[in-house]
Amino acid sequence: MRIAFFDTKPYDKPSFDKYAEAYGVEIKYFETKLNGDTAELAHGFDGVCVFVNDTVDAEVIDKLCELGVKVVALRCAGFNNVDIRHARGKITVVRVPAYSPYAVAEHAMALLLTSIRRIHKAYIRSRDFNFSLSGLTGFDLHGKTVGIIGTGKIGRVFIDICRGFGMKVLAYDKFPVPDLDNGDTVRYVGLDELLSGSDIISLHCPLTEETYHMISEDAIEKCKKGVVIINTSRGALVDAEALLAGIKSRKVGAACLDVYEEESELFFEDNSGHILEDDTLARLISMPNVIVTSHQAFLTEDALENIAETTVANIVSFFEKGECPNEVG
């Protein structure tokens, strides 16, 4: 089994090398992302391994099929970058449905605490021996209401963390989880009630046609003044222009973003020597109440191990048994 591994980062290799050797899979690492221009690199390989910002659209799928590639192994949970409908019947797509919901949920809480307790400001100040407290006033999480959109694996871990802080939870999901609503500290409500009743809103649903720009100008209008918005899910769940307008008008009190809708050319790369073309992102980053991390919520040692093991096992299962429990579509 020969696998072409796209968009390789240094932190991918140790865990993938370990499991590839253990399972007898040969991996060739490419730094470039998979797209229409680079698909040719998969020539002579049985499968490709891709991440969130690789493009697996109809053109790439057709090219991979022409080259005899049999499987697209996503080393992530989300698959919005794959044209699943086009892939059906042509090429098998497998993914890692869960690798560490804790990694993402804990990052969401890290962002929230950093933001509302102004840790990002205090860290810079104290390094400059500026021990003034002016402008660092935060607020208690205890007693506040958090709105969780998407109560799957990550959303539920985040709910547990928030409950540990003594917060009340309003939850919204297209497919509610039985028994999660206790009628008191955790309640399922409609989206509008969640928007209007939450001090903090955290997004944990997938990006689909239905959830695209779920946090729109209209949605922000319905929110409480000063709402804190956390997005560790997918960038395009939030209309970035509307968010920026909400920050400027003071309707949105803070934003914690691990993902951004136009991230694919920017995130995961060192762009420090470049002029940033994206004015919306530049303006968001310039705001004192916006924290942006570069899609790093998944990045823990535990998650990387799980991702590598499941991805390699998916590939082996597909080639040896002709099926894989983690097939998409």
Of residues 247, 254, 25, the one with CA closest to residue 118: 254
**Least distance to ligand NAD, CB of residue 63, Å:** 26
Report, in angstroms and rounded to the nearest whole number, the Rg of the chain calculated over CA atoms.
21
Alpha carbons 235 and 48: distance in angstroms, whole number: 24
Residue 28 tokens, joined = 């060739």
**Least distance to ligand NAD, CB of residue 213, Å:** 12
> Site residues (CB under 6 A) for ligand NAD?
77-78, 98, 101, 104, 149-155, 172-175, 204-206, 208, 210-211, 232-234, 258-259, 295, 297-298
**Least distance to ligand NAD, CB of residue 130, Å:** 32
Nearer to ligand NAD, 30 or 268 (CB): 268
Nearer to ligand NAD, 153 or 168 (CB): 153
Residue 45 tokens, joined = 């390989």
Nearer to ligand NAD, 184 or 210 (CB): 210
Show the beta-strand stretches assigned E in the chain.
2-5, 26-29, 47-50, 71-74, 92-94, 145-149, 168-172, 186-188, 200-203, 227-231, 252-257, 290-292
Nearer to ligand NAD, 101 or 147 (CB): 101
**CB nearest ligand NAD: which residue?**
152
- Is residue 165 within 8 Å of 142, Cβ to Cβ? yes
**Least distance to ligand NAD, CB of residue 293, Å:** 9
Of residues 102, 195, 116, 104, the one with CA closest to residue 148: 195
Q: Which residues contact 238 (CB under 8 A, 6 or more apart)?
A: 203, 213, 214, 215, 229, 231, 257, 261
What type of residue sits at position 278? D
**Least distance to ligand NAD, CB of residue 203, Å:** 8
234 classed as catalytic: yes
Residues that are catalytic: 234, 263, 295
